[in-house]
Structure 1
């Protein structure tokens, strides 16, 4: 997903009241570098990368995906009418070339709508953002919302495990015929979430390192994908890109 266009998840943000705890965990796990832009915002650079891949802001208490658009203010009303809740209206920090708004989708998942004059193609290196996963308890609502707002399409993932999670539970998310993420049907009593996937070379060793730093595993034993909770309770996943 190195090429980006409007409607692409091209950034992520971690809201926290304890920046030091976030940098300790993710710096230890992915060897991220941290570059403060203001007292309230720190940008994240993956090892081997040349530009930021996400940010940490304070105060806050959750991790969210950020979706690129050329016109944040112009898109807000359409997205609100599609079922989103606007948490923070469009804002443009002075002199930064960024416009953003924070929202929640119809099932309560936080996301940020943003434009950035500096935006360049993503660098897919170890520790970088490499896709995302949405878990939903109401599949039709989730599909309808993201298709209407961002043009995402959903196709059954025929490579998903047949048992105990049938292939019908998994969908490849695409935009402009390019795979950008995945959707998982969590069932009526499951949990709704939207989480980033980070590129690693060795999934198992990364899981063990994450555990040693305070993460917990919450994947089902026979489920596909490695899903974790960081020490603050934020969900994230690992991918080798295969």
Structure 2
């Protein structure tokens, strides 16, 4: 896919890592995906790390900030695009979700708010100013999918349908109840029920998927770098995938797509 210049409302546009140790996280992800990082300093936000492909001139992949204390959990947060932040927050509250961080401007980059859905999964909303979102998606070493894991898939279908207007489509991948969410003809996200590969009582959560050339090699490399593989490389219709946590415990997935043209895959009926 060419570099991104705009994301429609309801699409995942940015991904952000909350880390207890920035240098350790830089090492893990740069070694695993070949990313580069630079530090962005802007009024009102302190220092913010930006992951890019290749070097400082490469397209942006996502961001990272340091957790305030050890009581907070390392995690990836998915940002969904909106053109009307107050209206989307109203929809979140009306659907049973919560506003966790009030709307704020992030320098001249954009305006954000953080929320949780009706089952407690965190996500964020983004109104773009100068940062439209990730500079590239759906190609090697970039984000290519986002997925929710939760105990009640029917409640999640209701919530995200109300908030973003997503339409739920059933798929039969590795889960008997896989949900594919669509906006028009385009697939924007997926969902699985919390199952045996998550610890008992593990909370609902969103995770990003990153495209890798060799899923088995990426899973082995993640282990060598101190990560923990929870779902070993597994073949499903869209490709070969693996779910893991980084050394700090943030969950993510990698996938080697079965078809390189993800546009055609995401426009499947």
* 1:212 and 2:258 are equivalent in the alignment: no
Structure 2: give runs of 5+ residues left out of the alignment: 69-73, 259-269
| Cα pair distance change 1:101/1:170, threshold 3 Å | same
- For 2:143 and 2:137, the matched residues in 1 are separated by 8
The match for 1:172 is 180
TM-score (norm 1): 0.87
Cα RMSD for the two superposed structures: 2.4
Taking the aligned partners of 1:73 and 1:15, their CA distance within structure 2 comes to 25
Cα distance in 1 for partners of 2:164, 2:16 equals 19
CA contact 1:170–1:184 (8 Å) conserved in 2: yes
* Higher mean C-alpha displacement, 110-119 vs 196-205: 110-119
- What is the match of residue 43 of structure 1? 50
Mean alpha-carbon deviation: is it higher for 182-191 or for 172-181? 182-191
Q: Which of 169, 189, 193 is 1:155 aligned to? A: 169
Q: Distance in 1 between matches of 2:97 and 2:54?
A: 35
Alpha-carbon distance in structure 1 between the residues aligned to 2:180 and 2:88: 25
Q: CA deviation at 1:187?
A: 5.3
Residues 1:23 and 1:152: Cα distance change in structure 2 (over 3 Å): same
Q: C-alpha offsets along residues 19-60 of structure 1, whole Å, 9 cap, x if unaligned?
A: 111111111101111121124311111238832121002335
Instruction: Name the structure 1 match of 2:83.
Output: 70
CA separation in 2, counterparts of 1:222 and 1:45? 28
Equivalent residue in structure 1 for 2:110, among 86, 98, 101: 98
Matching of residues 45-194 of structure 1 within 5 Å: 45-47=52-54, 50-59=58-67, 61-94=74-107, 96-117=108-129, 118-119=131-132, 122-158=136-172, 160-161=173-174, 165=175, 167=176, 169-186=177-194, 191=202, 192-194=204-206
CA distance in 1: counterparts of 2:232 and 2:118, whole angstroms: 25
Show structure 1 runs of 5+ residues with no match.
none
Aligned to 1:12: 15
Q: 1: distance between equivalents of 2:82 and 2:250?
A: 25
Which shows bigger deviation, 37-46 or 85-94? 37-46
Q: Which has the higher strand share?
A: 2
Determine whether 1:234 maps to 2:250: yes
1:202 aligns with 2:205: no
State whether residues 10 and 122 of structure 1, in contact with CA within 8 Å, keep that contact through their aligned partners in structure 2.
Answer: no
Structure-2-length-normalised TM-score:
0.79
After superposition, the Cα gap between the structure-2 partners of 1:9 and 1:142, relative to the gap in structure 1 and judged at 3 Å, is same
1:220 is displaced (CA, Å) by 7.1
> Partners of 1:130 and 1:108 in 2: how far apart?
24
Tell me if the contact between 1:8 and 1:68 (Cα under 8 Å) persists in the aligned partners: yes
